[in-house]
Structure 1
Amino acid sequence: MERMGRRMGHLLVLIIVVVSVSLGGGRGVSAGEATQVHHVVGGDRGWDIASDIAAWAADRLFRVGDKIWFAYSAAGESIVELGSREEMEACDVTNPIRMYTDGLDSITLDGVGTRFFASGRPESCKKGLKLNVDVLPQQQTQMDLINPLTTIPFHEVVAAGPTTPSAAVPLPAAPPLSLLVSGLFFFSWFFLPFF
């Protein structure tokens, strides 16, 4: 009987671990991960002269932690990151900070400030293939603003409006595979003797 009680205690711990892993990988999900937005530059057409990159970017908000994706034909195009607005506006691509040539490039916006991107081909840049990205701080959620040691009267709590800055879809953070495998191992170790 004592052995059965110990197994039930272990089972309870296992259930707590599995639920924790499935809700955030046991490592905590930061507000930045929970609200990360993936932006495909140019929308459905991607990085293309016909996309009107300036119009696409006009109604987007970019925040720290978001990712921008450049999709283009690697055979005829490349992306450069430039150091200044002047270089971008003049399509001076002779001194890039970084160069992207894979055809599908993901860039994490890891700090507040402005970043400048342009086509690696000056003629394409002059036709509009350039983008400046003003990166804003991460947006605080209502929970970030609430001190857990204070109580707020129910009538003072206000629901936040929509927070997605574009048609892009926020992706939830995935739990690490190692934690999922560990949970399955312990699950089978505890349950197999009962069958």
Structure 2
Amino acid sequence: MAKMCVAIAAVLAVTALLQTSAAQTVHVVGDSLGWLVPPGGPIAYETWVDLQTFVVGDVLVFNFITGEQDVARVTKEAFNSCNSTNPIFLETTGPFNYTLDAAGEYYFIGTMDRHCYLGQKLAINVSASAGPTPSPQAPTPTPPRGPVTYIVGDALGWLVPPGGSIAYKTWAYGKTFLVGDVLVFNFANGTQDVAVVTEEAYDSCNTTTTIAVYATSPVKYTLATVGEYFFTSTYSRHCNLGQKLAINVTASSSATPPSTTTTPTPSSNPSSSVTSPVAGGPSAPPPQSSAPARAVLGFSSTLLLIALAVVH
């Protein structure tokens, strides 16, 4: 009987280990921005954190140039005051991988010069586990609204952003784009343009084939259909350097059909006021595979059978 208990305990331990390993996620801090003084202050890393879920066992990757940046883990009080006098640890060699080995709050800052004060700081909360999938809830009805005009990048405008594509990701984060809304791209004529491209071209920054290109500022682009939209520039390396925008457009919440929605006043140049040529929305994502779970269960069952055979 004692041997059986030991064998079962071993099987359960192996199963837990496999599940923990499978759940580990590597988070590259700031994505393409990396770890530096972010353009626009701490909102860049705050936005990045809002898009992540951290659990014990996950790994943070801080990408930075050795000698130009560093990363320190500090207390909450030191984080709030940007006090790097007594850090919990300090790493000066990049890139640096940090494993989240316990649940709770973690605080990181850059200690060089005024880097922390300028926004090089990161606060995250780590859960013990990913937890069960929450039960689906009925969506809250969105009150009707008319078309909204969005100035892409706000005061930044449409250009190669400092710090890379995180600037436009930050701008788009939290915004709701509906059919009938208008994007306004402000740029200096002759130095930029706006290209509508496919997702593949967006990801690879390949502007050889485009859906449409607009070269006269300001470009007023009406979102006419539901789905994903991808914008970049055809100018050399502008896309690679971060001049790219991806958004998702949902159906209009207005009681008025999109075809009767009043569009903003067009610009004096007819070519600068356009309606999206993109048709249809994105296909539904494929159902998540349960193969890893079945594999773990099957492996555990095999170990259990072996253990029982040993006992007998």
TM-score range, shorter chain: 0.5 to 0.7
Describe the shift of the 1:89–1:122 C-alpha distance in structure 2 as closer, same or farther (beyond 3 A): farther
Q: Report the Cα distance in structure 2 between the residues aligned to 1:123 and 1:76, rounded to whole angstroms.
A: 12
CA distance in 2, matches of 1:53, 1:139: 22
TM-score (norm 2): 0.35
Shift of 1:117: 0.4
Give the C-alpha shift of residue 48 in structure 1: 2.0
In structure 2, give the amino acid aligned to 1:35: A
Distance 1:54 1:122, change over 3 A: farther
Q: Is 1:89 matched with 2:80?
A: yes
In structure 1, the residue matched to 2:30 is: 42
Amino acid at match of 1:33: S
Q: Please state how far the C-alpha of 1:122 moved relative to its aligned partner.
A: 4.7
Task: Give yes or no for contact 1:54–1:128 (8 Å, CA) kept in 2.
Answer: no
State the partner residue of 1:64.
56
| 1:62-86 CA-partner distances (Å, limit 9, x unpaired) | 100000000011111111110x212
Flag the structure with larger Rg.
2
Higher helix share: 1
The one-letter amino acid paired with 2:22 is: A
Give, in whole Å, the separation in 2 of the partners of 1:138 and 1:50.
Answer: 30
What is the CA distance between 1:126 and its match in structure 2?
Answer: 0.5
Runs of 4+ in 1 over 6 A off after TM superposition: none
Change (3 A) 1:113 1:53: same
Which amino acid is 2:129 matched to? Q
Higher relative contact order at CA 8 Å, sep ≥6: structure 1 or structure 2?
1
Is 1:136 equivalent to 2:124 in the alignment?
Answer: no
Alpha-carbon distance in 1 for matches of 2:118, 2:50 = 17
- Whole-angstrom CA distance in 2 between matches of 1:134 and 1:140: 14
Q: Which runs of 5+ in 1 are unaligned?
A: 1-26, 143-160, 163-195
**Matching residue of 1:73:** 65
* C-alpha distance in 2 between matches for 1:128 and 1:140: 31
Decide whether the 8 Å contact of 2:34 with 2:62 is kept in 1.
Answer: yes
Distance in 2, Cα, partners of 1:131 & 1:53? 6
Aligned to 1:111: 102
Number of matched pairs? 118
**What TM-score, normalized by structure 1, do the two folds share?**
0.55
2:236 equivalent in structure 1: none
How far is 1:139 from its partner?
2.2
| Percentage of pairs with the same residue | 27
Which amino acid letter does the alignment assign opposite residue 73 of structure 1?
A: I
Report how far residue 90 of structure 1 moved.
Answer: 0.8
What do the CA deviations read for 1:131-174 (whole angstroms, capped 9, x no partner)?
112110122579xxxxxxxxxxxxxxxxxx86xxxxxxxxxxxx
In the alignment, structure 1 residue 120 sits paired with structure 2 residue 111: yes
What is the CA–CA distance in structure 1 between the aligned matches of 2:132 and 2:57, rounded to whole Å? Answer: 15
Deviations 1:93-152 (A, max 9, x none): 01101011111100000001011100012501001100112110122579xxxxxxxxxx
Alignment correspondent of 1:172: none
CA drift at 1:89: 1.3
